[in-house]
Amino acid sequence: MYTRRKRCANNCKQSGRVSSRHPTTPPTGSPRPRRWGASRTEEGGAVQGLMQEYPLTLPMIFHRAVEMFGDKRILTASPRGLEETTYADWGERTRRLGGVLDDLGVTDDGRVGTFAWNTERHFALYFAVPCTGRVLHTLNIRLFADQLTYVVNHAQDEVIFADRSLLALLAPVMKDLESVRHIVVMDDGKGEVPDDPRIVDYDELLAAASPVDFGVDDENRAAAMCYTSGTTGNPKGVVYSHRSTVLHSMGAMLTDTLGVSESDVILPVVPMFHANCWGLCQAGAMAGSTLVLPGPDLSGPAVAGLMEGQRVTLAAGVPTIWMQVLPELKGRDLSSLRAIVCGGSAVPKALSEAYRQEVGLPILQAWGMTETSPLASVCRMRSGLGSLGEDERAEVRSAQGIISPMVDCRIVAPPSTEGLPWDGKAQGELQVRGPWIARDYYNDPRSQESFTEDGWLRTGDVATISPDGYIRLVDRTKDVIKSGGEWISSVELENEIMSHPKVAEACVIGVPHDRWQERPLACVVVRPGETLERDEVIEFLRPRVAKWWLPDDVVFIDEVPKTSVGKFSKKTLRDRFAGHKLAT
């Protein structure tokens, strides 16, 4: 159950090193009464462990960050310049923000939406909302209007905290948001404020609020929710518990995953509305890392400037981000970097190698989904592979990596649940399970399509797994090209095409064929100032892939359309080229 929030007593510290704990009150509720000396639950039962039952909840992370790392920094790149605060001062504002939620009358388990950039204010909401028992709902600012309306109404958000600069995106749907009683505007310096009686000012509310104590007893209570990007049908709601979030944070701190630590300076370019910001906010707070939040400017020069200027050690973003940052790195001192994390879609081998040549670090590929919190695998190089040459190591790094500790994986041929061999050849649907993996969608009858009867999440990815455990995604089940009874990996074709020096981006889709059912069509974006012909692309691929994999045609486009989370939108291209006549 939820420990009732209390207004801070007069002796609570109001500045400097903040603490909301009291000597006689445990931080997250009192343990259950126990009989001393007991080691069995009942006569003749199995011997029980005698460890304490301690709820894994976000207030624990919050208190650790504020009390142990109060002097560590949180920086936000804003239109006004670089703004800096400490965990101690952030903690005070975060507890006041808990008071704001009380003052607004948000119910005990009310959903609180955010429509915001990566900022310290957003980071405060990451903790103020769940640490008072409410549910954080990060809203994707890139959703289409009808999808945004759907997710707000489906989640029944009671209040939305929105950056002023993003109100132009939110305003057109405000009238359709049925459950929203308040829209709290966080002034980031620009943008028209709509005339809506529900609008209130963030700074005024914060100034009038009193700090509250944080406490959540039930580790299985909902902490946050994100909706999938909704490439087919309405987005689906994924609800994270306090327990799953704490365990995921610990998982991100492991050496063989992301290795988040106190000495890190973390730059999460991945949006805070995208799959929990990949867990970097919670893991960073638990570790006491310095956080560099990029705000609204995600351009190549801005990101590269933060990497160099703030001596960033770990940066994380999707491939499209790292593509635009790469040209800005020449001549910069990036010696502080230890990891450039990339996920969201497959990392082109050519992009990873370009980073290795430019800054001495290849991209560290990670894989996951909204449903996996999202960290599910990381492509660390195993010690036994140290003797491989650079080309062979690059090939290993192009895989999605080894499954994270505490997460299980298998590949199967549905409807069978029998695992296929880990031989690097057998292809099947990748399925996962674990303590931070979803078991259901929020109030959604489509759930049964995505979860097996024996409790595994069906990821929708086709994969192989090598004997040493490296997962390699072949394709999405809906994107794999079925040609004459055989499968062609659109992802592998894309990676090969994007290794051509004249190619900026490439997306491969299947188009109907009278004889072979489907054949590949390559949609290619040429680098500025370059020219490229269809036959050049085909000849470049000829020694790199099987003959029957060669695209039947190549079309040149201005840009590859993207989904709301930056992935290639193959559905858009399939619709666009539905009537395309193949050249062969």
List active site positions: 228, 371, 482, 487
Contact in structure between 143 and 168 (CB atoms under 8 Å): no
Distance CA 353, CA 375 (A): 23
Distance CA 338, CA 364 (A): 10
Provide the token pair at 66. Answer: 């504020």
The reply to whether omega before 445 is within 30° of 0 (cis) is no
- SS3 string, 289-337, reads CEEEECECCCCHHHHHHHHHHCCCCEEEECHHHHHHHHHHCCCCCCCCC
Query: What b/e sequence results for 488-507 when a residue is b if at least 16 CB atoms lie within 10 Å of its CB, and e otherwise?
Result: bbbbbbbbbbbbbeebebbb
Which residues contact residue 256 at a Cβ distance below 8 angstroms, ignoring those fewer than 6 apart? 378, 380, 402, 405
Provide the token pair at 132. Answer: 């008072």
Distance CA 258, CA 289 (A): 13
Provide the token pair at 410. Answer: 């298998």
**Phi and psi dihedrals of 510, rounded to 5?**
-95, 135
CA 335 to chain centre: 26
Reading phi first (left if > 0) and then psi (alpha if -120 to 50, else beta), residue 395 is in: alpha
The number of helix segments (H) and strand segments (E) in the chain equals 15, 25
Distance CA 89, CA 440 (A): 38
Q: List, in sequence order, every residue forming a beta bridge with 556; answer none if it has no partner.
A: 524
CB atoms within 10 A of CB 200: 15
Give the orientation angle of helix 58-68 with respect to helix 120-131, to 10 degrees: 130
Q: List, in sequence order, every residue forming a beta bridge with 509; answer none if it has no partner.
A: 521
Which residues contact residue 564 at a Cβ distance below 8 angstroms, ignoring those fewer than 6 apart? 140, 142, 143, 144, 147, 229, 230
Q: What SS3 state is found at 222?
A: strand
